[in-house]
Amino acid sequence: MEQRDEIMINALPSKTWHWLRMNETALSWKPDLALCQTMIEGGKPTEILKETAQKIETGAGSGADPLFRESEEEGYGILADQTNLGETVRVIIGNREEGSEGSLYIQAEKHADITVVETFPAGEMPAKRLAYRTRVHAEAESRVRLVQVFMQGEGTELLNDIGCVCEQDAHFEILQMVIGRGDLYNGIRTDLKGDGSDVQIAIGYLGQKKQLLDMNLVVNHLGKKTNSFIQVDGTLKDVAQKIFRGTIDFKNGSSESKGAETENVLLLGDDVVNKTIPVILCAEEDVEGSHGATIGELDEDTLFYFASRGICAEVAEEIMTKGKMEVLYRKIQDAATETLVEQQLAEVMEYDRA
Amino acid sequence: MKEKTYVEDIDRNIYDFKDEEKDAYKIKAGLTPEIVEQLSKEKHDPAWMQTFRLESLQIYNNMPIPDWGPSIEGLNMDNIVTYVRPNTKMKAKWSDIPEDIKNTFERLGIPQAERKSLAGVGAQYDSELVYHNVRAEVAEKGVVYTDMESALNGEYADMVKKHFMKLVRPNDHKFAALHGAVWSGGSFVYVPPGVSVEIPLQSYFRLNAPGAGQFEHTLIIVDEGADLHFIEGCSAPKYNVANLHAGCVELYVGKNAKLRYSTIENWSKNMYNLNTKRATVAEGGTIEWVSGSFGSHVSYLYPMSILKGRGAKMEFTGVTFAGKGQNLDTGAKVVHAAPDTSSYMNTRSISKDGGISTFRSSVVVTKEAEQAKSAVSCQSLMLDSISRSDTIPAMDIRTRKANVGHEAQIGSISDDAVFYLMSRGMSEEDARACIVSGFADNVSKELPLEYAIEMNNLIRLEMKGSIG
């Protein structure tokens, strides 16, 4: 029998009642994963400064460290500096074995500006399990955009783990399109260490069939005048399950900071499970934190609007699902990736009808 | 230099007075099967209750301490006296109560409130009720309002047995188990079908003994089409040893019935308040919780509503004020287990002077709860940077045919709001005082006038200092 170790990932920084089963997620993964295939187009390779990289904590947490043993030694590094301002680097993460893992370190020097597009295609020989970790160090006044497109195949599991530290006035942006057919464990942690730094996270997802989406987003406001904005929009169908943990943590000293998170979930399946826990932790007086969530099916007014134009409820739901995703993928700002997402979205929506 | 606006602590002097201990009986400190058996014997429990207590103790010993809330390291059960019987039996006239105890309740304003605005009063002193009375016209309608011990051993024994800790079971959490083992005192209320109790009933719990625990049990059954407002108040003098409150409230709201349960909790700052409250609501019924949490060193308090019948409703309105040395973890839980149910939580919390307030909630919508609607709104006000304010709301939705919304805000006093009020002639100091006072309005406007005034007195949001 295969020996499996249980690891705990995506832990809430502040626990709540255990009976809700939201505090963390247990994964029964075999830790000795092989290195995955990584194709990098563009970018300047750099040697990873382990001391710097390993200090960057991630959303999945240190519980996931055993999964990244190989790539901690042999991961890839990309440097953004004055010589490649505005460059878009494309990274395709492929599968090799039953279980694979990999990691990427993005070092953005002062005033650098880089976009990294990471794509996780379904592949011809999909690994059952893939763990991938992206660490970002955004130095002062740099700008890093990370676009991730998840298209993994049915029956697969993907652990996507991100950690970022932003120095003074650095800007970090994440855009994730979750349009695969497999399960996704998604951890994102950003430490807004420098004054005036900010992070914007936008996630669009379509969960259907038996898919599981397990997210843990943590933003730590450490510096003054830091800003965070989290927006998560998605649709759940069939018997899909989703848990969204979102934490905005205003640490003492983060005065004049602002943090906001919004989540909109369209429920279209009779047996879906939607769990949401949007947390604000606050140890500073002069801050503004807010969160809002709306969860449910299409309201009667919207359905009436569509019906008055001869569109039935089923088509209306499809239009709204696609519309939510389209608003996000139009922000990718990379024509090739946008086309890829558009095609994949059409495919998975077709797959849903199959 | 700008001097910070200062918000006063809650003035606790009106509650912080002690009576000399003249207890008739005090069980020895600690928690063992022998102590529980002794307690049961002292209370003349029926056999099933003694067994229940011992089973609960076993559950208590096997359950872990919660690892998700405020620390309760300072609470050592070996030092807690679980049963203190005052030097009097329960009376129906204040004049029959020993002078010192009567004076205590008079200083708390209970007899006066009874005369003016209550349909009945129960007053508990340490582990037992010392006073219980209900107006004749209310009793004539068939309303039963008595102490738990009388109900347990009297004509309502079967009803008590049928409902006692069936809603909050001892294996629910460690302190529910503790309650099951050592409960004492509390009230039993039964409102017959169709009866509307037009003025509220009140139970007041006073803990006088240092190092003691209070474990009162409140069981209320509001039958079909009936209507009741029940008010619960509690306080204690401050000691330099830990006191413990682990009460339990079980509310059964019948078909198309309505129950409002209001609490002004003002324990002293050496109190660990680990209380459990739960309601089950039948078809078309309504439960309304109004909750003010001001006292305690540590609080774990989350009234839970189970909306079991079609169209059942729940409303929770709460305010929490955490000052120096306080860690108040409060909120509410709701389970939508039937179609067309609705819930609304509206809470405010204020943190100052190193106080920690946490709003914690859960909204569970089961697959059966089609067309359920739920809205949660929580707002927190931070008055300085040595305090903390956290919001931890959870939602678990298992039907597509639900409509769930949530909003939360944390912040300081808005400069825009201050500017607005100043533009209408207020001084900055008055404007800030007005905003902070108004922040708790959600609760005070839900209370009967007398209690709203008491609450406002309690908060005493006095603003001082020049504005720079």
What's the pLDDT at B466? 26
Compare CB distances from B395 to A275, A286, A288 and report the shortest one's residue.
A275
Give B160-196 pLDDT, tens digit per residue: 999 999 999 999 999 999 999 999 999 999 999 999 9
Question: Is the confidence at residue B205, as pLDDT, over 90?
Answer: no
Distance from the A326 Cα atom to the nearest Cα atom in chain B, whole angstroms: 23
Residues A270, B410: C-beta atoms closer than 8 Å: no
Q: Evaluate whether B339 touches B370 at the Cβ level (below 8 Å).
A: yes
For A291-333, the pLDDT digits (tens) are 988 999 998 899 999 999 999 999 999 999 999 999 999 999 9
Contacts of A270 (CB under 8 A, 6+ apart): B367, B399, B400
> Which of these, A128, A178, A172, lies nearest to A149 by C-alpha position?
A178
User: In this complex, do A290 and B407 lie within 8 Å of one another by their Cβ atoms?
Assistant: yes
CB contact under 8 A, A285 and B412: yes
HSE of A301, CA atoms in CB hemisphere, 13 A: 0
**Which range, of A40-44, A119-123, B217-221, B444-448, averages the lowest pLDDT?**
B444-448
pLDDT lower than 50: segments of chain A: 1-2
The 8-class DSSP code of residue B90 comes to -
pLDDT, averaged across chain B: 87
Give the pLDDT band (50/70/90) at residue B2: very low
Angle at B386 between CA B381 and CA B390, to 5 degrees: 45
DSSP assigned state of B19 = P
Between B111 and B461, the higher pLDDT residue: B111
Measured distance CA(B177)–CA(B246) in Å, rounded: 10
How many whole angstroms separate alpha carbon B320 and alpha carbon A316? Answer: 44
Strand A287-296 to B372-382 pairing = unpaired
- Note the residue count of chain B: 468
Cβ pair B187, B218 in contact under 8 A: yes
Whether A272 and chain B come into contact, CB under 8 Å, resolves to yes
Q: Spell out the alpha helix ranges (H) of chain A.
A: 50-54, 69-74, 300-308, 313-329, 335-353
Q: Which member of B389, B390, B402 has the closest CB to residue A296? A: B402
* pLDDT for B6 beyond 70: no
A positions 3-42 inside 8 Å of B (CB): 14-18, 20, 22-23
Q: Which residues, listed in sequence order, are joined to residue B212 by a DSSP beta bridge?
A: B81
Cα B253 to Cα A290: distance, rounded to the nearest angstrom: 35
Q: Do B406 and A278 touch (CB under 8 A)?
A: yes
Per DSSP, the three-state class of A222 is coil
Residue B11: per-residue pLDDT = 57
Looking at residue B25, its pLDDT comes to: 82
A282 neighbourhood in chain B, CB within 8 Å: 380, 382, 388-390, 410
Tell me the mean pLDDT in the region B393-399: 96
State residue B346 phi and psi, 5-degree precision.
Answer: -135, 110
The model carries a pTM of 0.91
Residue B20 confidence (pLDDT): 67
Q: Does B366 touch chain A (CB under 8 A)?
A: no
Tokens at A88, concatenated: 């878009």
Is the pLDDT assigned to residue B22 strictly greater than 60?
yes
Q: Report pLDDT for B393.
A: 96
What local confidence, expressed as pLDDT, does residue A126 receive? 57
Confidence of residue B453 (pLDDT cuts 50, 70, 90): low
Is there a contact between B390 and A282 if contact means CB atoms under 8 Å apart?
yes
